[in-house]
């Protein structure tokens, strides 16, 4: 059964801001700083608020697990020519295969890393359902998880 999206006019900045505030305590408890940089000029567009928030939460969870104490994770949202781009820097994983390492659907994850891999696979499916893209690339602070969403996802 294909993933059902509830596409509504939403503000991506609000979606990510709400998410970053809810994750703030978890980052503080680990001694990791969570910074946000949201471009204010991104217009509202149609996307599934809950599913995009879940995808970003799965990336935050992975970044928190991988971040070193006293490290910094930065969540950014930028406008791009045909959409919006969300990036998360500060994680240490930088292999594209990280999005495909999900345990088999009928098996339970054997450890927390397998659980994270499942979360990243879910993030990938949620972004692809929006006709978006998701990838990871090296950065000066470890790696950068990125996803893009088209502003015409209807």
Which tens digits make up the pLDDT trace of 1-35? 578 999 999 999 999 999 999 999 999 999 999 99
pLDDT score recorded for residue 98? 52
CB burial class (10 A; 0-12, 13-18, 19+) of residue 149?
buried
What gap in Å lies between CA 100 and CA 45, rounded to an integer?
29
Q: Give the global pTM.
A: 0.83
pLDDT score recorded for residue 145? 92
What gap in Å lies between CA 6 and CA 47, rounded to an integer?
7
- For 8-150, CATH gives 3.30.565.10
The token pair at 15 is 């979606």
Domain ranges of the chain: 8-150
Residue with tokens 């240490």: 92
What gap in Å lies between CA 123 and CA 130, rounded to an integer?
11
Residue ranges of the chain whose pLDDT lies below 70: 1, 91-118, 153-154
For 3, phi and psi rounded to 5 degrees? -65, 130
The token pair at 94 is 């930088």
What gap in Å lies between CA 66 and CA 47, rounded to an integer?
29
């Amino acid at each position: 059964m294909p993933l059902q999206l509830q596409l509504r006019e939403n503000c991506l900045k609000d979606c990510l801001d709400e998410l970053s505030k809810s994750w703030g305590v978890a980052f503080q408890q680990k001694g990791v700083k969570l910074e946000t940089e949201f471009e204010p000029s991104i217009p509202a567009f149609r996307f599934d608020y809950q599913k995009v928030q879940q995808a970003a939460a799965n990336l935050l969870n992975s970044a928190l697990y991988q971040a070193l104490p006293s490290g910094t994770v930065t969540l950014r949202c930028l406008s791009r020519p045909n959409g919006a781009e969300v990036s998360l820097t500060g994680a240490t994983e930088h292999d594209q295969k990280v999005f495909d390492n999900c345990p088999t659907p009928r098996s339970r994850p054997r450890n927390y890393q397998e659980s994270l891999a499942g979360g990243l696979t879910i993030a990938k499916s949620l972004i692809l359902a929006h006709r978006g893209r998701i990838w990871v690339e090296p950065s000066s602070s470890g790696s950068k998880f990125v996803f893009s969403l088209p502003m015409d996802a209807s």
